[in-house]
Every structure is written in C-alpha cells, then in structure tokens.
Structure 1
Amino acid sequence: MALTQQLARVAPQYLVQCRAAAAVSSDGDPNWNPPAEDTVDLDWAIWALIWFCQRMRIEGPCVQVLKRSISGDPGGDVEFLDHPGVYDGFDSPPAVLAPAAVAEVALELAALDVGEILSCLPPDPLAAAEACGFQGFNGHPREYLVEHFELLQSFYLIAGRRGLAVVAWTD
C-alpha cells in the first residue's frame, strides 16, 4: 500500500475527547473517527510540489507554508494519536496545528498562486514529472498538482473559518 498525506479538521474539544478515551482504554485507543467530510487524502501531491519548489529554488514562503500545512507544529500534545487505530506507524506520528495556526496557514496558502509556482514546470510530461520527483507518473503532473493544491487551500480555508484544528499524518 502506498503512503499518502492525510489531514483532518477537528474541534479542540474533539481532541480532548480522544485524549480522554486513550487514557481510559486498555490499549490507548483514542477512538479517532473524525467525520469523512472533515478529512482529506492529498495523495503525494503536496510532497511533489515541495520537491519541485525546492528543486527550482522558488523563493518566498511557499515551501515553509506547504511543509507546515502537512506537518503540523511541534509540541502539539497529540501523543495519544500515536496508535495503530489512527495511522500505520510507518512515518512520524500525527501532528496538529491549533486553530490560530490553522487560520495563519489558511491565509498564507490563500496568498500563494499555484499557477505562478508552476510557471517553470517543463511542458514535456516526463521532464515535468521528474522535476516533481515522480517516477512513472502517467501524463503531465500540472493538473494533479493544481487540483491537490486547491484542495489543500480550500480545506484550510474552511478549517480556519470554523475555528478548527488540523491534524496531519502519513498513512
């Protein structure tokens, strides 16, 4: 099974409930089950976009905000989510962005122009895929990258408007 980037929008109170559930569970199960409409699978797209930005030496806040949006902030006190019921344990445990940080990231993502970022993406599909770190990508990656970036922007915009935290993990 391939690893993909996962995000969930959750109320801070939901994290409190999950922490309490993990504390009383014999196996530490936090009963993690955020609503499907508040989760998103970003596949590998944002990793590829970060790879591309770094490779092309794109200046500005692009790489930092993309990394933060999928990695959370350090010290988020969500160790209770380090459980097989939440993620497969292959990569780092889940991390969180608090509601105030989510609002910041939402504004920073909204300020990014993915068309401008991808303006130097080669027109040749093979060269474009290679520039994004893809091997064996079928077709040109531009549409894939734009679609997932816009999904990330929208996800954070909604989370910011609703005052939610965002939990990020790889599964």
Structure 2
Amino acid sequence: MALTQQFARVPPEYLDRCRASALDSPGAAPNWDPPAEDLLDAGWAVWGLIRHCRGPGAAPATVALLERAVSGDPDGDADFLDHDEVYDGLTDPPRVLGATAVADIAHGLDAIDVGVLLADLPASSAEAAAVCGFGPRFVGDVRAHMGEQLAAMRQFYRVAAHRGWCVVVWVD
C-alpha cells in the first residue's frame, strides 16, 4: 500500500460538529465524511516537488510554503481527528489549517511560477525521477506530473480560501 498526501476542505463549523461528535460518542468517532468534491488525493508528487526544491535554486520560502501546505500547522486543535474514521493511523494524525492560513497558502501557491520552479529539473525522466525520489519505476513525464499535481493543489486551496474554509491535511 502506497502512502499518499490527502487534503479535505471543510467549513470551520464542520470541524466544530466533528469535535462535538468525538466528545459525545463512546468511541470518540468524529463523524468524518466530507463530500468527495472537497477531498484531494495528491498522490506523492508534491513530496517529490519539495525534495526537488530543497536542492539548489528554489527559494527557502517556497519550500516552507509547500511543506506547510502538506503538513499543516502543529498548533491546531485537531486531536479529535486522530481516529480510524479519518485516517489509517500509520502516520501522524491529521492537522488543520485555519481559514487565514489557507488564504495565505493559496496566495503563495498562486505566486509560484511552475516553469521557473522546475526549470533545472533534468530533462531525462529517469534522472528527474531520481532527483525527486520517485525511483526507477516511475513512468511518464516527471515535470508534467508534478505540474499537474501542483495545479490541483493550487486550485484546491484557492477554492477553500474563496469559501473561507479550513483545510485538513494527512498522509494515508
């Protein structure tokens, strides 16, 4: 089973209801079930993008932005999401990004020039896959794959920011 980066965009009131449900139910079940259109499985491409950005050329602020977008904020009150109803428990529990953080991240993601960010990625798919940590089994255009995943994450955060919603992040 491969681990993948997961995102859910939810209104703050939804998180409040989940928190109340976890407090009221015998098994601490948060009654977590966001609509499919508010979920994003980003696979593992964003981790490769972060690994690439840690090399020469990318601004540290870009790396920090991407890491925050996938890791969340450590100070959020999200203990109620540490439940098998939400994630498989193999990794750290989900973290919440509040509406202000989501707006900041959306703005930052929109400012990234993907062409510039990926300009020094090797032209060979095998070499690019190695630089990004994808391994020899990766098939396809690494640059296009990472660009597509970044575009999906950018759109996801943009919609959440427009709605004034939170984003919950986890690995599953």
Q: What is the aligned partner in structure 2 of residue 43 from structure 1? A: 43
Q: Deviations over 1:63-99 (max 9, x none)?
A: 1110011111111101000001100111110001100
Are 1:132 and 2:138 counterparts?
no
Q: Distance in 1 between matches of 2:140 and 2:67?
A: 25
- Offset, 1:59: 1.9
1:126–1:140 CA contact under 8 A, matched in 2: no
Question: TM-score scaled to structure 1, two decimals?
Answer: 0.97
Q: What is the aligned partner in structure 1 of residue 78 from structure 2? A: 78
Percent sequence identity over matched residues? 49
SS of residue in 2 equivalent to 1:28: coil
What is the 5 A alignment of 1:96-111?
96-111=96-111
Question: TM-score scaled to structure 2, two decimals?
Answer: 0.97
Are 1:160 and 2:161 counterparts?
yes
- Unpaired runs of at least 5, structure 1: none
Q: What is the aligned partner in structure 1 of residue 151 from structure 2? A: 150
Q: Distance in 1 between matches of 2:57 and 2:97?
A: 26
SS of residue in 2 equivalent to 1:120: coil
Please identify, of 19-28 and 51-60, the stretch whose mean Cα deviation from structure 2 is larger: 51-60
Q: Distance in 1 between matches of 2:8 and 2:19?
A: 16
SS of residue in 2 equivalent to 1:55: coil
Q: Deviations over 1:123-158 (max 9, x none)?
A: 111101101111111122111100000001100111
Q: What is the aligned partner in structure 1 of residue 95 from structure 2? A: 95
1:6–1:41 CA contact under 8 A, matched in 2: yes
Runs of 4+ with deviation above 4 angstroms: none
- Unpaired runs of at least 5, structure 2: none
Q: Distance in 2 between matches of 1:151 and 1:83?
A: 27
| Cα RMSD after superposing both structures | 0.9
Q: What is the aligned partner in structure 2 of residue 17 from structure 1? A: 17
